[in-house]
Structure 1
Amino acid sequence: MRGRGRSLVTDAIPVFDVAIAGGGAAGLSLAASLKQALGAGASVAVLDPAPAPAYGSAETPLRTVAIAGGPRRLLERIGAWEEIEPKAQPILKMDIMDGDVRDAVRLPHLHFEPRHNGEPLAHMAFTDDIVRALTTLCERLGVARLAASVAGFRSGKHVGELALADGGGAIRARLAVAADGARSRLRTLAEIQTIGWDYDQSGLVATIAHERDHEGRAEQHFLPAGPFAILPLPGRQSSIVWNERRADARALLTLDPNDLVRELELRFTPKLGEIRLASRVEAFPFRFQLARRFIGQRLALVGDAAHLVHPLAGQGLNLGLRDVAALAEAIVGEMRLGLDPGAPAPLGSYERSRRFDIAASGMGMDAMNRLFSNDVAPLRLLRDLGLRLVDRAPQLKDFLIREAGGAGRGAPKLLRGLAL
């Protein structure tokens, strides 16, 4: 539905400066960034058929994210962090182990803790809390919210036209943004292809209650089937991301809860005392996916619509917010001058700024997963030696922390806490 063909809308339909498909953290943070920078000078719409997560739900939240330093500064600058921070848990130290499921004790091969400025390594938060805070912020800033999904897209010389599903009419926008996830409908309508592959891995995700305090410590255990992450949450709780081969993950989900906890204890180790499930357990398949282009005519891709990486370093949302910072910086200056946010120049600048970072991060995570998700003795010896060498190189560890935080040299202003 792109390119030639009959117009999907009539001239009576109003034009937004930016229309964002997807009401998750990436789409909402982009909308808030633009409105916070431009105020009434920009008309921004978010399209999503799903309502925002409700407050006071009886069910324990499940999905969590680690918010690195740069994305946290973005959330601070646009005004969302004030609501998120009281519900977030700082990560004050991180240990990386390599071992076997049956090891009762696993000693750290690599240890990270804050240096110099004393900032936490990251903050753990529930995804629902982030989306709620951003939804409230967007309402306050005057972002239009349309409870609809995109059914058609046609890019024109001056505007893009988005037809809405279920007879919801249509809208126009000078720039359309696909922030609607890994199976992005808008990306598909724009005929942007992806490359990628499935991993024979799924991640079992749950919230775990434990007897002792985690003291803000995160752990990554590299086990033969894949990484097992323990991520601190407020109180005596932690989130786990438990990688297993897909067939094994399906079998684990069929276990009696007591048997599942026994399997969990083998991987968790006994350092935090008795543990129990504090939420349901769900499994999510892992995949690497990269859009062949991050832009099209009158279109930009951000977040999972542009890229999907292995979650072993918790970089999924952080990469998405780095997209947001780069795209906002590329178009805000244009809009302040009365220029076109959907013109080729700012969109080309955005794609150039993100392509290398995403490719390097994605392939780096893929290589790490392949290197550590096995029990080949020579490889295990080499990787353990490598981890110990890094642990004895403070400057290299500082560099890795800065890069993971997304606010290194040349980073967009929002990631450095600066106004656009």
Structure 2
Amino acid sequence: MAKMTKRGRVDVVVAGAGYVGLATAVSIAQARPALKVIVVDAAPPGVWQRDGRASAIAAAACRMLSQLGCWDEIAPQAQAITDMVVTDSRTSDPVRPVFLTFDGEVSTGEPFAHMTPNKALNGGLRRRAAELGIDLLEGVAVERFDAGPAGVTVALADGTAIEASLLVAADGVKSRLRDMAGIKTVHWDYGQSGIVCTVKHERPHNGRAEEHFLPAGPFATLPLTGNRSSIVWTERTEEAERLIAEDDIVFETELELRFGLKLGEISVEGPRRAWPLGLTLAREFVAPRFALVGDAAHGIHPIAGQGLNLGFKDAAALAEVVVEADRLGEDIGALDVLERYARWRRFDTVQMGITTDVLNRMFSNDFGPLRAVRDIGLGMVDRMPRLKEFFIRQAAGLAGEAPRLLRGEAI
């Protein structure tokens, strides 16, 4: 085996330069400048700039991004979700009755979520990371790592190695680092794929988000800036593959059947893609000198739009644990320190995974008696303001014991 060249010692290595990995690095470095943080990413430089998708950012995550000094740069490109409606119907039904509506504010002037271009989100976090002196190594994968009593040695594909106190894996739902750490997962496939695309339409959406529960799965219309909307369309995997392979006319015709004509004529803007959907939960969130965040720890169904926001909670919680441990003179990579993070995040993650699983199974079918029961349930919730307020706070990420950053407070 070739000898590795040592890059020097740092405190934290974050593997993965997506939103959650960058947010973790920025959160630690901003709160504790004495801790040296480095980010390594296997993706080639510039890949993130070609991402034309958008993500739903909950109010708590917006507070966090504001506290990190990123939101003012991102906000002009974000679209507030001002209200949301939920319907339950078949594609062929001439009328889609609205069973549930939500006001889009958690407090006066604060929407419960924004639709944010992925490129703007990633760019804002990268700019802040650079300001904080965080080194970003792109196009370099982690080959292996060895954890010991005094630290972890992270070997990179370019023949160099980094010594650190803690390695954070933010490398996605198919995390290689999670496998290297020997952490097993609970996983099952839904037999569904999520089709994602952007559409232009004639009339304004006025900030309204809609979720249609159709027999094959939810069809979500999420507002973007201008007369545009982001589509997250769940279909059986075989049907999704067929639709992606169709020409533009056939695809837009199928899309129009689900989208409707309420906003006038529609046309697809940019590429369309499909991703297989499933539930993946890591059995452990930490190991000695090692922690999982974001999709590396949990991959859930997009039915509630909470995947990325769970990841931001991970970033905020891990940063808070690491920073407070360092202030107390503790070893930030010690297992007893990292277990504080695991205990904090495990229940919330499992609860959300189970919730999205149950919702998907309940609404992705055309069983008449079950449809009647769920529609009655939605109608009852719509008539209970306190319960609706509870659900809004959950969706906004403000329920439960939220980390300080998600409350808009400094660590």
TM category, shorter: over 0.9
Identity value in percent: 49
1:102 to 78, 92, 110: 92
Match of 2:386 in 1: 395
Q: Deviations over 1:85-140 (max 9, x none)?
A: 11110000000100010123312111001254342120001222211111111011
CA contact (8 A) 1:95 1:218 kept: yes
Q: Deviations over 1:326-358 (max 9, x none)?
A: 101111011123321111222111000000000
Distance 2:59 2:278 in 1: 25
Q: If each structure's strand is expressed as a fraction of its own residues, which one has the higher value?
A: 2
Matches within 5 A, 1:237-316: 237-316=228-307
2:20 to 26, 37, 40: 26
Match of 2:176 in 1: 185
Matches within 5 A, 1:11-410: 13-39=7-33, 41-51=34-44, 53=46, 61-113=51-103, 114=105, 116-147=107-138, 148-165=140-157, 167-410=158-401
Distance 2:52 2:365 in 1: 28
Distance 1:35 1:110 in 2: 42
CA contact (8 A) 1:9 1:161 kept: no
Deviating beyond 4 angstroms after TM superposition, the runs of 4 or more aligned structure 1 residues are 6-10, 51-55
Distance 2:94 2:22 in 1: 44
What 5-or-longer segments of structure 2 have no aligned partner? none
Structure 1 window deviating more from structure 2 (118-127 vs 89-98): it is 118-127
Distance 2:94 2:371 in 1: 18
| CA apart distance, 1:254 | 2.4
Q: Deviations over 1:170-229 (max 9, x none)?
A: 111101000011111111111111111111101111100000000000000000000000
Q: Deviations over 1:266-325 (max 9, x none)?
A: 100111011111111111110110111000010000000000000111111100000011
Residues 1:50 and 1:7: Cα distance change in structure 2 (over 3 Å): closer
CA contact (8 A) 2:106 2:396 kept: no
CA contact (8 A) 2:286 2:338 kept: yes
CA contact (8 A) 2:80 2:113 kept: yes
Q: Deviations over 1:13-55 (max 9, x none)?
A: 522111000000000011111111112x110000113255479
CA contact (8 A) 1:8 1:162 kept: no
Distance 1:8 1:378 in 2: 66
| CA apart distance, 1:403 | 1.5
TM value normalised by structure 1: 0.94
Distance 2:192 2:400 in 1: 34
Structure 1 window deviating more from structure 2 (270-279 vs 108-117): it is 108-117
